[in-house]
A and B are shown apart, each in its own frame.
Chain A
Amino acid sequence: MPTITYIDHDGTERPIEAKNGETVMETAIKNSVPGIDADCGGACACATCHVYVDEAFMDKVGQPEDMEQSMLDFAENVQANSRLSCQIQISDDLDGLRVTTPESQH
């Protein structure tokens, strides 16, 4: 089982054992990780699951598709490593992934 580490905006780390096939958003919600609202429940339609992906994993995680990019455009403090966590599916490849949640979701 891959481990995903969630880091909140003031640096607290929460390593979580994740299940393959679930998303980084779902894993956070199921484990009550703060900092992700996921208002639309994973439909790529609200942008309240915004996270920053650790640079070391950028290639493995890949680039956002069209719709995700459109939604990200309206999140706050978007950076080159911003992704919507409901669009990142967990697999063994992502074992060790670290994502940081923003101070607030918009």
Chain B
Amino acid sequence: MSDLRIGVFVCCCGINISAYVDVPAVIEYAKTLPGVVYAEEDIYACSNDGLTKIKKAIKKHKLNRVVVAGCTPRTHESLFQEALEEAGVNKYLFEMANIRDQCSWVHMKEPKKATEKAKDLIRMAAAKTMLLEPGDEPEIEIKQSTLVIGGGVSGVCAAISLADQGFNVIIVEKEPQLGGKMRNFDSLFPHRQKVSEMLESLLQKIQTNPRIQVMTGGKIKSVSGFLGNFTIDVETRTGTESLNVGTIIVAVGADILKPKGLYLYGEDKRVITQSELEEILRAGSVDANRIVMIQCVGSRSAERPYCSRICCNEAVKNAINLTQQDKEVYILYRDLQAYGITYSRLEQEAKQNGVRFLKYQQEKPPKVTAETDGLRINLYSPTVNQDVEVKADLLVLSTPLIPVTDARELSQMLKVPLDSNGFFREAHVKLRPIDFATDGIYVCGTAHSPKDVGESVAQALGVASRAAIQMAKKRVRIAAIMSEVDQTKCSGCGICIDVCAYNAIRKNEKGLAETIAAACKGCGVCGATCPEKAITMHHFTDEQIEAQGLAALMEE
């Protein structure tokens, strides 16, 4: 571009910069750089006065590119970009040189070298600025509807909350009925409320809400699109249906481990899992007098290193229920994880009711022998430093929640990650605990990790509001930092489609790649990978990055 007019604004940041960097010398230097027609010093460039000065200078000197040398773009870039827009310059024609956080503050004892580095950083920024291009931020409309994958307690609660806020919801459940794993359960800790009561009232709300559509027996076949506009193909008994929604909630829940081969499970009818016990309790009473439970069966092991969180409380709750039927109950545990404010009380109650707790060690797990008149369980108790023998009519194994079998398949379709245990992984454990990194897709309940009903519902209400926040905006602007495929260079190899973590590239009718602007996050991986070098990464082009690098190496 021949009529490049770059303005450089060097901020003193009070004295944060000017105490260590010779700002006047830097300004004099900046004026000598190619393309730079104006340079000035600001005490606080980000203050109202400072921004006004910048806007005035842009107009007065007809600047069409701006460099601010000061703090970090991570906090201040958008502020200066707004000023540019107000002065009639596209916000993408802007670059910052971080001469505070990455210069004056870290070289406080070397003012000479800090000044030289500040000059270099400005030279690099100016070099990039020369090659910048204006960017257009596409605006997209957000569909006012949500797909909830999974109709268990989490999915159902999220759906009700969203529908109550005025959004349309479609629940896709792979089983023939809603309710998830909870359907087979008897009662819930800590209050031992009957599951059936809770489920009934929830399902009632679903049936009577006109905004909620339920597709049972449905399987997700493919997902494409982006926040505001997802397309999902669902296979049902009657054929394939295509859905169009603005947001997606993953509430697929978890499976319960069947511990084949452990403690005679699957070989002896008197050995069942805790969830099978729930089913029996739900139907009535247990046909056994002495019941022994073993905790951590298949969890906190090399294969499954995690604690399944709910099993201790579930065992204690069922034990209390059993004592009320005058049963004798033993709980064999490794560590009793009765966390939180209510669960320790539950444990106390169980002890008062006569439930006996026996500790075992992972290295010396209990041994179970089938005998005609019952089961014999031998274990070493570290508490009394002795071998102990217990007889049981029924052995109940507490097994962990495990990821659903199709978790991986679904994660690949959605392009969202799983953790090392195979559960869906959130974007950030503390800052974005129920979002995925991909905008518009959220996770709640046991799809994410083992948790109890209360925790699952809390997350369900959380994702409903996360989705509602996006949809309430109705439209979003997309940053212009995105990839673009040069169709004359593309060979259609599809490698870019494989490496993009956001499904943001598709093949067009000619078999060539094209970016879906609204889905592109601007990481640049596709551009760095394309073997034909057919992809331009806007705002971080090869040329811009190289210009910055070469400018860094230039002698003054």
- Are chains A and B native binding partners rather than an unrelated pairing? no
Chain A residues with a Cβ under 8 A of chain B = none
